[in-house]
Structure 1
Amino acid sequence: MANVALLSAASPSTFSPAPRARLLLLARCPPPRRSAFPGTAASRLSIMAALSHDPIREWILTEGKATKITGVSSIGGGCINSAQCYRTDAGSFFVKTNRRIGPSMFEGEALGLKAMYDTNSIRVPLPYKVGTLPTAGSFIIMEFIEFGRSRGDQSALGRKLAEMHKAAKSDKGYGFYVDNTIGSTPQINTWTADWIEFYSKHRLGFQLELITQRFGDSAIYEKGQRLINNMLPLFEGAVIEPCLLHGDLWSGNISSDTNGDPVILDPACYYGHNEAEFGMSWCAGFGGEFYNSYFQVMPKQPGFEKRRDLYLLYHYLNHYNLFGSGYRSSAMSIIDDYLRMLKA
C-alpha cells in the first residue's frame, strides 16, 4: 500500500493500530491555485516537482513541519535495511529504507511501534510515515531518539516490559492486525483463539515447513512435528493471556535514551503468551535483576522453566532459515530434549 500516512507530526494521537484497510491514503498534493504572479507560481511548482521525486524529503518539509534539512547522516540499520538521521530545523527524524521490499514490511513495523507506544509503558520511537520509493522499495519515517551511552538499567527494562505486557491485551485472541516479519522471514499472525494452536501452527510449524522447503531437512521437520503434537503437558497450570509482545527482543533492539530510560525498537509485534517474549534471551543478556523486576509485575506462571526452551526454539529455527545450518544443532538439541522429557 503505497503512500500510507501513519501519523501527522502535528497530531500525534491520530494513528491507532488497525487492519491495513483502515489506514488512510492521503492525496498527494491539492491542485495549485492560480497566481497573479506567474513566475512565483512556476517556481513553487518547480519546488513541488522536485520534492515529488523524493517522498522522504517531501514529508519532512511538509507534514514534518520542517522548512529546511540541515544534514543527513547514515547510521546503523541492521543487515536488512539502510538507516539515516535527517536533521532539520524542526528536529531530527529517523528514516529506514529498503530498496528491494515493498511497504508491507514497514507497515507491520509501524503498527507494532504504535501499539507499543500507546501502552504508555516502555519508550519506543513513534512512527510517522510509511511509503514507497520512486524507483523501487519502501521507507519508514519515525521519531529520532538520541541513545545514551549504555543499554540502560536491567531492572527498569524488566519492569517496563512487564507493564507493557500487562497493559495491552487483545480481545481478538492471539495474532496481530497484519502479518509482519521476523528478520526477513514472514511471520504469520492470523487471529487464533487458542495459544497452543497459534504457536504450533504459525510459529514452530511455519518455521519447520520453511526449513523443509529451503534445506530439505526432513529429520528436524519430523521430530519437530512430534514435539508439536505432544507439547500440551508443558502448559499445565499456566494462565495464558494474549499480551502485546515486541516479538524480537535481543540486544540489538534494546537501548536507553539520554535519561537512562529503556528503549526498544525494530519489533515483530503480535499478541501472545508473555513468556514468548524471552525467546531471544540467548542473545539479549537478560540477568537476574531483569527477571526479578519483570515477575514483580507479571508473576511467574507454573511450568515457566519447562517452557523456556520451547520459546527459544522458534528463534533458533528462524535463525536456521535466515543464516543456515549453523543453528541446526541448537534447534535439534532442544527438540530432542523435549521429546525425551515428554516421552514422545
Structure 2
Amino acid sequence: MVPMGVLVSTATIPSFSTCRPSVPKRRRAAAFSIMAALSNDPVREWILTEGKATEIKRIIPVGGGCINLASRYDTDAGSFFVKTNRGIGPSMFEGEAIGLSAMYATNSIRVPKPYKVGALPTGGSFIIMEFIEFGMSRGDQSVLGRKLAEMHKAAKSEKGFGFDVDNTIGSTPQINTWTSDWVEFYAEHRLGYQLKLVLKKFGDSIIYEKGQRLMKNLRPLFEGVVIEPCLLHGDLWSGNISADKKGNPVILDPACYYGHNEAEFGMSWCAGFGGSFYNSYFEVMLKQPGFENRRDLYMLYHYLNHYNLFGSGYRSSAMSIIDDYLRMLEP
C-alpha cells in the first residue's frame, strides 16, 4: 500500500514506481522543523537515553508517503529511523511494531527492528526503529522470493487466521479477529469489511451487492488446498521492498497477520514480481493446485482498499474481478 516511510539515506534513494501520490517535501520539512523545536520531544528523549546516544548530529527528512512523515536521526550512537503521524494515535504504530517484531523473530528476510512507539505531546504518534541504509537497487528477485518463503514457512500460528491486534492497511483499519476457517476470515474480515466501507463512503450498492454474492461462493476456489496460517507482511508492493548495501532484500511498512501464504501476492500488480521471484518462492513453499485461479481474488482486497482510500479510479478493476469470479462460480 502507501509508502508509510522509506528507510533510505538522501544520497541513495532508489527509484520506485509508486502507486499513489506522496507528501510534498516542503510540508515534510516544515513538520520536522516544528517537531525539532519542541522542548518536550519524546523522540529525542528516547534516543538520548534508551537509544544510548549523547548527541543528535542532524535530522534529515527522507522519503515518506501520504500517511506518515519520515526522518533519519544521525547520532553518535548510529542512525535511527523515525516515523510520525500528527493525526493518529499510537495504535497504528503499535500494530506495525508488533508485526515488525514478529517478522524480525523469524530470522529470515531482513526487516527493520522496532524500538519504541509513543504519543506526541501535541497529538499524534511516533515510531522509532532501526535505520537501514539501502543500496542502489531492489536486489535479486530470486533471493527475495526465497527469503519471503522462508518467513512464511518459519512462522505459523496455532490460533488460526488473524493477529493479536488489529492494524491498518494504509490508513484503513484491518480487522484481524482470530478465525479458525480461512475462507470465512477472508470473506468477512477482508472483502466484507472493505465492501462495507465502499457502501458507506460512496453509496456503491452495485459493487457491494455483487461482492456479497462473491463472498458466499468462494469455497470452490479452495478445493484440495492445504491452507496454513503463515505470517504475512500483508502489504507487499514495490515501495515496501528494497535491499540493503549488501544486496540483502528488505521489507518494511507491514500490515501483518497470519493467513494463506498466497494472499501475500495481493499487491503483485504494484510489486513487479517476476518469474525468478515465483520460481524461488515455490522451491521453498509448495505451490498449491488452483493457484492461478486465486490470484485475482487476493488482488481484489487491495483494489477495494485503494477504492476506499483514493476514490473511483480503482473501482473498475475491483468490479471486473468480482464479475469474472461470479461468472466462474455462480450456477
Q: Which of 92, 98, 102 lines up with 2:79 in the alignment?
A: 92
Q: Which of 207, 217, 234 lines up with 2:221 in the alignment?
A: 234
TM-aligned CA deviation for residue 343 of structure 1: 2.7
CA separation in 1, counterparts of 2:178 and 2:39?
A: 38
Q: Which residue of 2 aligns with 1:112?
A: 99
One-letter amino acid of the counterpart of residue 73, structure 1: I
Q: Which of 51, 66, 72 lines up with 1:79 in the alignment?
A: 66
Q: Which residue of 2 aligns with 1:181?
A: 168
CA separation in 2, counterparts of 1:169 and 1:308?
A: 22
TM-aligned CA deviation for residue 309 of structure 1: 0.5
Q: Secondary structure of 2:216's match?
A: helix
TM-aligned CA deviation for residue 212 of structure 1: 0.1
CA separation in 2, counterparts of 1:77 and 1:140?
A: 14
Q: Secondary structure of 1:326's match?
A: helix
> Is 2:203 the partner of 1:216?
yes
RMSD after superposition: 1.0
One-letter amino acid of the counterpart of residue 337, structure 1: D
CA separation in 2, counterparts of 1:331 and 1:297?
A: 31
One-letter amino acid of the counterpart of residue 91, structure 2: S
Q: Secondary structure of 1:237's match?
A: coil
Q: Which of 130, 137, 144 lines up with 1:150 in the alignment?
A: 137
CA separation in 2, counterparts of 1:248 and 1:155?
A: 19
Question: Deviations 1:184-219 (Å, cap 9, x if unpaired)?
Answer: 000000000110000000000000000000000000
TM-aligned CA deviation for residue 342 of structure 1: 1.0
| 1:52–1:58 Cα contact (<8 Å) kept | no
Structure having greater relative contact order (Cα 8 Å, sep ≥ 6): 2
| 1:119–1:168 Cα contact (<8 Å) kept | yes
Q: Kindly tell me the number of residue pairs found equivalent between the two proteins.
A: 295
Q: Secondary structure of 1:149's match?
A: coil
> Is 2:128 the partner of 1:125?
no
Q: Which runs of 5+ in 2 are unaligned?
A: 1-36
Spell out the pairing of 1:209-288 with structure 2 (5 A cutoff): 209-288=196-275
Question: Deviations 1:211-263 (Å, cap 9, x if unpaired)?
Answer: 00000000001100111101110000110000000000000000000000000
CA separation in 2, counterparts of 1:231 and 1:167?
A: 28
Q: Which residue of 1 aligns with 2:30?
A: none
- Choose 1 or 2 for highest CA Rg: 1
| 1:246–1:270 Cα contact (<8 Å) kept | yes
TM-score in terms of structure 1 length: 0.85
Alpha-carbon distance change, 76 to 301 in structure 1, aligned in 2, over 3 angstroms:
same
Spell out the pairing of 1:302-341 with structure 2 (5 A cutoff): 302-341=289-328
Identity %: 82
CA separation in 2, counterparts of 1:191 and 1:182?
A: 17
CA separation in 1, counterparts of 2:119 and 2:63?
A: 21
* Higher alpha-carbon deviation: 286-295 or 76-85: 76-85
Q: Which runs of 4 or more aligned residues in structure 1 lie more than 2 Å from their structure 2 counterparts after TM superposition?
A: none
TM-score in terms of structure 2 length: 0.88
Q: Which residue of 1 aligns with 2:281?
A: 294
Q: Secondary structure of 1:230's match?
A: coil
TM-aligned CA deviation for residue 299 of structure 1: 1.1
TM-aligned CA deviation for residue 151 of structure 1: 0.5
Q: Which runs of 5+ in 1 are unaligned?
A: 1-49
CA separation in 2, counterparts of 1:147 and 1:86?
A: 16
